[in-house]
Amino acid sequence: MLLDSKLSVKQVVEAIERLGPQERLELVTVLPAILKLSADDYGWLKLAEPTFSFWNNDADAIYDGL
């Protein structure tokens, strides 16, 4: 895909939504480098991730698409 102009955030999100499961997994793998996250920043994000697990429940599922 050639990019002749800048994409909006909305266009990027829409493109990601069209990806298949394997492509999404690949994107998650390379995304920290694309976003230029330092290893420390990425580590802190991964460390904090379990603290939000309480939101992963059926009662809050309505918010999963936001």
Q: What is the pLDDT of residues 12-51, one digit of tens each?
A: 999 999 999 999 999 989 999 999 999 899 899 889 989 9
pLDDT at 40: 93
In a domain, 46, yes or no: yes
Parent domain of 28: 10-63
pLDDT at 41: 92
Segments of the chain assigned E as strands = none
Tokens, residue 8? 């909006």
pLDDT at 59: 84
Overall domain count for the chain: 1
Q: Supply the pTM of this predicted model.
A: 0.54
> Which residues are CB-contacts of 27 (< 8 A; sequence separation ≥ 6)?
16, 19
Q: Which residue has the higher pLDDT, 66 or 8?
A: 8
pLDDT at 57: 84
In a domain, 57, yes or no: yes
Helix spans in 1-66 (H): 9-17, 21-34, 39-48
